[in-house]
Amino acid sequence: MVAWGIGEFPQEVTSSPYFQPLKVVKVLQVKLCGAIKLGQDPAISANTLGSVTPRKPVLSVSARKIKDNAADWHNLILKWEALSDAGFATANNIANTKVSLLSKDRTELESSDGHAEKTHPEYSEELEELCEQLRATLDGLTKIQVKMEKLSSTTKGVCELENYHYGAEGGRPVLFHTWPTAHFYEVSRQLSDMYGKELRLKRAIAEELAHSTDHDLTLNYLSLWLHQPYVDGDSKLLLESMLLETGHRAL
């Protein structure tokens, strides 16, 4: 097969009334592109196709795990807040029911002859159902806190794997923007400790609330449940910082 360059066609070809140079050039271009697609000439491919759109960087296994953990933290805290709010509503109903029973008992005592012994409020099926609801809420909060502990454990495992790979004093690459891997574990540990303490407080409140006969003490229990003193403002800052670092929040 004879290959001719542009401008090198024989005279008998160019003198033909059917000869059309532009169509010939177009045919050559089509054939050339076909060769590029088939991978026949990588050098031509690079020059013809130009620059290729860069692909997004693929996260390492450790970075992917840390990023997934950050998303899990966000979801677990949202679930915690929803359950905590539901628990507060139940606790408030328990307090109101308890006040109603105490008031009824006091009225009955005052209407008696004055020699009757003081008795405890009668059994209330409604109060028992509310206490069961609060216990179910605590069970849900416990499951969430256990998952938080697991997130801290997996983050610690990533740190230990990194220590094994790079050594105690070896240089470690930054997985995302600025945080070293160990800082993700520190944040996870702080969050887990906060919610662990808060869970223990809520358990204590649930155990005492239905038995309290002091109105002011009952109000204190409700206030403690609502405001969650162990989950301070730093928890939101820690979570949002972790979401920013891992790319879940735009910088």
Higher-confidence position of 132 and 45: 132
DSSP labels, the chain: -----TT---HHHHTSTT--HHHHHHHHHHHHHHHHHTTS-HHHHHHHH-PPPPPPPPPPHHHHHHHHHHHHHHHHHHHHHHHHHHHHHHHHHHHHHHHHHHHHHHHHHHHS-S-SPP-PPPP-HHHHHHHHHHHHHHHHHHHHHHHHHHHHHHHHHHHHHHHHHH-SS-----SSSS--HHHHHHHHHHHHHHHHHHHHHHHHHHHHHTT---HHHHHHHHHHHHH-TTS-THHHHHHHHHHHHTTSS--
Joined tokens for residue 187? 């944040």
What band does 33 get if pLDDT is binned at 50, 70 and 90?
very low
Give the pLDDT score at 9. 52
Query: What pLDDT was estimated at residue 47?
Result: 44
Q: What is the mean pLDDT of the chain?
A: 80
CB 231 within 8 A of CB 97: no
pLDDT in tens, 195-221: 999 999 999 999 999 899 899 999 999
What is the pLDDT, as a whole number, of residue 44?
40
pLDDT digits (tens, 9 = 90+) for 164-196: 888 766 677 899 999 999 999 999 999 999 999
pLDDT tens digits for range 131-172: 999 999 999 999 999 999 999 999 999 999 988 888 766 677
Q: How many residues does the chain have?
A: 251
